[in-house]
Amino acid sequence: MKKRQAAPRIHDALAGANVTLTSDEEVILGTLRTLEELLLAEWLGEDPPYRVIRESRFWRKVGNTALWSAKPDLVVVRGDAALVVEYKTGPLAVEDASANLQLRAQAAVVAHTLPGIRRVTVAVLQPRCCPQITRCAYQPRDLKKALTEIDGIVTQAQWEDAPLRAGPDQCRYCPAKAICPEAHAEVAALVTTSSEPPTPAHLAVLLDRCVLAEQIIESIRDHARRLLSADPTAVPGWRLVPGRNRETITKLQQVFERVHRPGAPPEAFIGACSLSKKALKSLLEGVTRERGSLLDARLGSVIEGCVEVSQTRPMLERCSGAAR
């Protein structure tokens, strides 16, 4: 059976499908469910009933002509209002909901499609980034403006001479990356030689190209994986081999009893174990029923003075809001 990537598997699990997740994905799923609950409780207040629509495609139509579409992860409808939620399970923070074009399109098309919707709140839930929830409310006038804006973008993109502008932001989720000449040209420009070290301004351009190159490399590998899983001889000289197994000891009590019997003292066993902050946090959450900043404070006081910190080498990160 073809193995789906982590994000779609987590989305499937949220939609109620029976999927097998890794332990890391389970943690992301648990956090997403908690964030979703918090958001819904805040948005619904004391005012149910409401309707939930998951993973449904909404079409912008003019007459019988379908112009464009969007597929939010979750739409909750209550009266004349809708809540549109997008899950982002990756490690990179996406744009705040108020500046996020994808969510603007979703808000516009949901209001366009569902009868009687006049107000839409959009929210991004990103369990691995900070802030974990961002949201933005669209009023009727904003929704009308957003629909016109997205119509304009789609119209321009369909012009014969519409230029392709490759870059790490716009190409990140584009399925055409593996074959797009513009994206490839941008990356090819990385390897033009120069005897001079790059200026700081040129370095900024090169770093963007590095990000795009990594995205393209991964999309090429994904493409090869798809071909090879359908036909093991599809790519000359390459084959698919099973991924590495990661073993985690989960039944600590049982293991302790087995090492204690031949003489290992409890303190030696505890010294050989390690506990992740994630696991401790979810343990504390289960015991105390606390959440958010209260839970963080509890975790902080529990581990105070008991943590060893090691740091990897500094990472390069683009400043938010910096011009490309």
Binding-site ranges for ligand SF4 (CB under 6 A)? 164, 166, 170-171, 174, 176-177, 180, 182-183
Q: Which is nearer to ligand SF4, 161 or 308 (CB)?
A: 161
> Which segments of 120-193 does DSSP mark as H helices, in order?
140-157, 168-171, 181-188
What ranges make up the beta strands (E) of the chain? 51-54, 58-62, 65-70, 74-78, 81-87, 119-125, 133-138
> Min. distance of Cβ 138 from ligand SF4 in angstroms?
25
Q: Which is nearer to ligand SF4, 127 or 168 (CB)?
A: 168
> Min. distance of Cβ 224 from ligand SF4 in angstroms?
18
Q: Which is nearer to ligand SF4, 41 or 189 (CB)?
A: 189
> Min. distance of Cβ 167 from ligand SF4 in angstroms?
7
**What one-letter code names the amino acid at 83?**
L
Q: Which is nearer to ligand SF4, 44 or 211 (CB)?
A: 211
Q: Which is nearer to ligand SF4, 49 or 163 (CB)?
A: 163
> Min. distance of Cβ 145 from ligand SF4 in angstroms?
24
Q: How far apart are CA 74 and CA 110, in angstroms?
A: 11
SS3 content of the chain, % helix, strand, coil (to 5): 45, 10, 40
How far, in Å, are 133, 276, 283, 294, 304 from residue 289 at the CA level? 20, 19, 10, 10, 20
Torsion of CA 154, 156, 157, 158, to 10 degrees: 90
> Min. distance of Cβ 99 from ligand SF4 in angstroms?
19
